[in-house]
């Protein structure tokens, strides 16, 4: 199947008992057994281990990322946490220097006393990255594009190194979505999504996902999920699965609108720098062209004045864009990373990687582009 067919049919089956086109919401915690230890259906005995609605979503996740196993979690951070439970004291993890604030917080605060050592590096400095690898390195974690500076990492080049060294390689594919980028095909071992964002697509669910190609790794991660309990409920699974069925249509429009918004911002006298991988001036534009089929709907920009007050004034004046955290929904959102999504990163670290106080992040939705540009125009005036 090609992608547009996969999001609707990939890994999916009509309900065998009723013929329902969409999987029913199996709102049950447990399943009948015919004899002790012998469930009526061998795949289902307790919903923490497996639930038919969640299984339908997980099969769809595996299909659209070209993996063998998908796992659905109660949040993107729960999915990330499941991966980290694979490691022990003395292990080392190399991570991208520009990360979602919640991921950085988990790495540096939740796991800081576990004995796992974290290194943060610009993944485009391949020599620096290589110099951090040693016999204790067990995982490389990247976002591409990153949140909020739209940095990119060359998945294929990093995968060559991790495979040679037998190191696990995980890619947060939330911003790109499997419609624009397929990390497993490029050599990654694990793909993570905050399914809250583009996969769900309607700002009505919190969810996370892991997808892998190696079946043994998938079984290990499933055991860790089952043993710790961060599973996605059946109703939320249904909502994400429904969102996936229109992913291709929505992301096409996000990309189309994103390009128009970027063109407007890039020519506005009050805007200093626009961060968007589709711009030829973007430092990683060539990587984006190589590994992505489109450039997405996430845009960040700074002001000529460099003043935080100008960013706040702009964010208080938008009318079609909504000032709120999160991204990837059908509606356009605007966010101040330093005060909102990345506030958990220390100020000195934010400045080091380029998250300035005048930085604004936009999640460009699927409204009429003309209305979005008019809103930006009046808010910048």
* C-alpha to C-alpha distance for 171 and 210, rounded to whole angstroms: 10
Largest Cα separation within the chain, whole Å, is 74
* C-alpha to C-alpha distance for 318 and 301, rounded to whole angstroms: 15
CB distance 68 to 218 below 8 Å: yes
Spell out the per-residue pLDDT of the chain, length 381, in tens: 999 999 999 999 999 889 999 999 999 999 999 999 999 999 999 999 999 999 999 999 999 999 999 999 999 999 999 999 999 999 999 999 999 999 999 999 999 889 999 999 999 999 999 999 999 999 999 999 999 999 999 999 999 999 999 999 999 999 999 999 999 999 999 999 999 999 999 999 999 999 999 999 999 999 999 999 999 999 999 999 999 999 999 999 999 999 999 999 999 999 999 999 999 999 999 999 999 999 999 999 999 999 999 999 999 999 999 999 999 999 999 999 999 989 888 899 898 889 999 999 999 999 999 999 999 999 999
* C-alpha to C-alpha distance for 315 and 334, rounded to whole angstroms: 7
Q: Please tell me the pTM assigned to this model.
A: 0.96
Residues with Cβ within 8 Å of residue 104, at least 6 apart in sequence = 342, 344, 345, 349
Domains and CATH numbers, the chain: 3-243 (3.40.640.10), 248-380 (3.90.1150.10)
Residues catalogued as catalytic: 48, 100, 172, 197
């Amino acid at each position: 199947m090609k992608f547009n067919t996969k999001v609707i049919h990939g890994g999916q089956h009509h309900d065998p008992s009723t013929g329902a086109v969409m999987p029913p919401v199996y709102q049950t915690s447990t399943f009948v057994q015919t004899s002790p230890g012998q469930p009526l259906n061998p795949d289902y005995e307790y919903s923490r281990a497996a639930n038919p609605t969640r299984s339908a979503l997980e099969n769809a996740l595996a299909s659209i990322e070209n993996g063998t196993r998908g796992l659905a979690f109660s949040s993107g951070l729960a999915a990330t946490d499941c991966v980290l439970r694979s490691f022990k004291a003395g292990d080392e993890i190399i991570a991208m220097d520009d990360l979602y604030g919640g991921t950085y917080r988990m790495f540096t605060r939740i796991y800081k006393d576990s004995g796992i050592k974290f290194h943060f590096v610009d993944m485009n400095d391949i020599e620096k990255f290589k110099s951090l690898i040693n016999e204790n390195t067990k995982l490389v974690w990247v976002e591409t594009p990153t949140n909020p500076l739209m940095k990119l990492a060359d998945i294929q080049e990093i995968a060559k190194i991790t495979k040679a060294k037998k190191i696990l390689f995980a890619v947060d594919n939330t911003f790109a979505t499997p419609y624009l980028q397929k990390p497993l095909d490029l050599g990654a071992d694990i793909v993570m999504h905050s399914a809250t964002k583009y996969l769900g697509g309607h700002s009505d669910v919190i969810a996370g996902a892991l997808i892998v190609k190696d079946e043994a790794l998938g079984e290990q991660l499933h055991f860790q999920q089952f043993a710790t309990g961060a599973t996605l409920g059946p109703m939320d699974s249904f909502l994400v699965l429904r969102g996936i069925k229109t992913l291709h249509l929505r992301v096409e429009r996000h990309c189309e609108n994103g390009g128009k918004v970027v063109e407007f911002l890039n020519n506005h006298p009050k805007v200093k720098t626009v961060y968007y991988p589709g711009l030829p001036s973007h430092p990683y534009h060539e990587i984006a062209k190589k590994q992505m089929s489109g450039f997405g709907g996430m845009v960040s920009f700074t002001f000529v004045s460099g003043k935080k007050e100008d960013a706040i004034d702009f964010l208080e004046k938008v009318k079609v864009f909504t000032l709120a955290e999160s991204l990837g929904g059908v509606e356009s959102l605007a966010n101040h990373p330093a005060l909102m999504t990345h506030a958990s990163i220390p100020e000195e670290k934010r400045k080091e990687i380029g998250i300035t106080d005048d930085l604004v992040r936009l999640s460009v939705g699927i409204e009429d582009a003309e209305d979005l540009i008019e809103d930006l125009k009046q808010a910048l005036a």
